[in-house]
Amino acid sequence: ETGVTQTPRHLVMGMTNKKSLKCEQHLGHNAMYWYKQSAKKPLELMFVYNFKEQTENNSVPSRFSPECPNSSHLFLHLHTLQPEDSALYLCASSQTGDGNTIYFGEGSWLTVV
Amino acid sequence: SQKIEQNSEALNIQEGKTATLTCNYTNYSPAYLQWYRQDPGRGPVFLLLIRENEKEKRKERLKVTFDTTLKQSLFHITASQPADSATYLCALISGTYKYIFGTGTRLKVLA
């Protein structure tokens, strides 16, 4: 139990589907993140939210749409994805401030067919 | 451009030996550097944080060094065990929320 819960753990979707990834953190943190992890590439920061406000959008295509209704929940809405979007999507949270540890969920494995 | 490089994609060592992993960075001036462990199919788990004014940090069998002149951090696991086999990631904190990760080194400890 990491304190950050992601659902679903595995998702297969077609290129025309719409689906969402969900993340919930039970750590009382202020900041939440989406990262993408592809084979042989470093973790790519996608979005950052601090106190529900988006503070970072790392040039992510609009087919990925984040939503942060409160400090404990974060969603990633997926629409018309491409096969190259298949990856492990990791949600994380941290307390606001420099040097704080970032806590990751177990990830959602996404396959786009 | 800003880069974080970890010395090798994979490292095999014999049980009981010391594993040394390297993290080099360019065009950053981080105040902190962190190391994480990631097991297959799982999210990364925090291990150690070292500040720019600290030369060395230890936790049980783990030791991290941070040389801001060389722009390098070394991560050591002493008396390594097969259970230490995993991918190890270094991360810099560039700004309040930007945790930037290296590609990782996959360590395998052979029994």
pLDDT per residue as tens digits for the range B88-102:
999 988 777 778 899
pLDDT per residue as tens digits for the range B45-100:
999 999 888 989 999 999 999 998 999 999 999 999 999 999 999 998 877 777 88
pLDDT of residue B70: 92
Higher pLDDT, B40 or B7: B40
User: Which member of A56, A99, A101 has the closest CB to residue B31?
Assistant: A99
Rounded distance between C-alpha atoms, residue A103 and residue B11, angstroms:
26
Q: Hey, how many other C-beta atoms are within 10 angstroms of the C-beta on B28?
A: 16
Interchain CB contact of A47 with B (< 8 Å): no
Higher pLDDT, A96 or B26: B26
Query: To 10 degrees, the CA torsion angle through B22, B27, B30, B33?
Result: -20
Instruction: Determine the Cα angle at A17 with ends A14 and A18, to 5°.
Output: 140
> Is pLDDT at B2 greater than 80 in this prediction?
no
Residue in A92, A110, A100, A96 with CA at minimum distance from that of residue A25: A92
pLDDT of residue A3: 93
State whether A42 and B103 contact (CB < 8 Å): yes
- Our CA-based measurement puts residue B82 at a distance from the nearest CA of chain A, in whole angstroms, of 22
User: Which member of A2, A97, A101 has the closest CB to residue B96?
Assistant: A97
Interchain CB contact of A41 with B (< 8 Å): yes
> Is pLDDT at B8 greater than 80 in this prediction?
no
State whether B49 and A97 contact (CB < 8 Å): no
Write down the residue that tokens 């900041």 correspond to: A31
Neighbouring residues of B60: CB distance < 8 A, sequence distance ≥ 6: none
Kind plus residue range of the DSSP H or E element containing A107: none
Higher pLDDT, B57 or B27: B57
Neighbouring residues of A57: CB distance < 8 A, sequence distance ≥ 6: A46, A47
pLDDT of residue A2: 66
The series of mean pLDDT values per 10 residues for chain A, 113 residues long, is 89 92 95 92 90 81 94 95 95 82 94 94
pLDDT of residue B1: 67
